Each structure stands twice: as C-alpha cells, then as structure tokens.
Structure 1
Amino acid sequence: MINMADYYLWMKNLQHPKLKNWVSERNKAARKQLKDLSKKLRLRIEHYYMIPYVLLVRTSSKGHFILLRDDRSFKIRIITPDGPMNDLIDSRDQWQSFLS
C-alpha cells in the first residue's frame, strides 16, 4: 500500500479560519484578474458589436427590405428597384417617441 499525504485535508472543515482566509485571498486575486480581463474583453466586444450586420432580407415588388443591426440600433431599410437605399425605421427613433 502506498501512503500519500493529503495536502488539502485541512480544507475539510469549512468553518476553519485558515480555510476562510485562504478562500478570501483566492477570491480577491481572482476578482482582480477578472476585473482587468473584463476591461480588455469589453473593448473587444464593443468593437465587434459596432460592426453592422444584416439579420434578414425580404424581397417584394417594391424592393428589397433589409433588417440590420447598425450602431447600437436596429434598422429597416429598403433598396428600391431604381437603386437608392432608404431608411424606413430606426429603433432609436421608435424608442424616443415611446419613452416621451
């Protein structure tokens, strides 16, 4: 039989002050690392979130209707058969009238 030391046996007693201090210190260290990481991630996420992308396209006799997310809002645009693109709805405008 191999006799092995259990270096974490002291953690068995959840009320032990040594364990509470250890958990508190590990918690502080983890929160510090995550706080710094969250700042970096936030900048990266915001960068990619600001990239416009098309969610849906529907075609009718009046043109192509496009639902897209652009600059923190949702927009519905139409591209008419003669070429120009026009904004029909911007979610920021809709919420402003709803909230006032």
Structure 2
Amino acid sequence: MRATPSKDGRYRFDLRVTFRVGESELALLLAASRAGEDIGGLPERLSRKAVVEEVKRYLARRGGDEFDGWSDDLDPDEARAVEEWARSVVQRAFPELK
C-alpha cells in the first residue's frame, strides 16, 4: 500500500475490506442503515447500486461487527417492519441471491 497526502496534509492509505454477503446479510445491513426512520417514508425499491452504496456507507460508519444490535432500541414491530422492507428491497435488487 502506498500512502498519499490527505486534504489535511497527513499521509494515509486506503484500506479496502471485502465482505462476502448474501441476501440475509444485505437485508440486515440495509435495515440497520435505516433503523429509526419512518417505515412509511422508505422507498419501495432501490437500485442495486443504491443498496450497495448505502450498505458501504453504513459499514464505513459503523464497522462490520456492529450491526447485530441495530434494532435493540426499536419497538419489535417497527424493527420487524424495517427488516421486511429491507429484505423486499434486496430481493428485488438482487434476484440471483434467492
């Protein structure tokens, strides 16, 4: 890896991490990224690219092992609704993962 100067002048390198995920993991990560949002305001569909970008942003913010407790602070019905929404979006965007 080669370090390059950042905007603040400090040298850093890009660390790329690969996560091998299936439908369940993608849906869980997508649901975690939207936890606490109004279920009625969530889009019915997202493109493959939008799902991947949202999951990447979430992982960059939270890390790979932090999503297990994403619904701990939510009402169980709300958590279930967000997870069902996420699973539906992932199934539409990635039909080959079924």
Common fold, TM-score beyond 0.5? no
Tell me which protein shows more strand as a share of its residues: 1
Which structure is richer in relative contact order (CA contacts within 8 A, separation 6 or more)?
A: 2
State the TM-score, normalizing by the size of structure 1.
0.26
State the TM-score, normalizing by the size of structure 2.
0.26
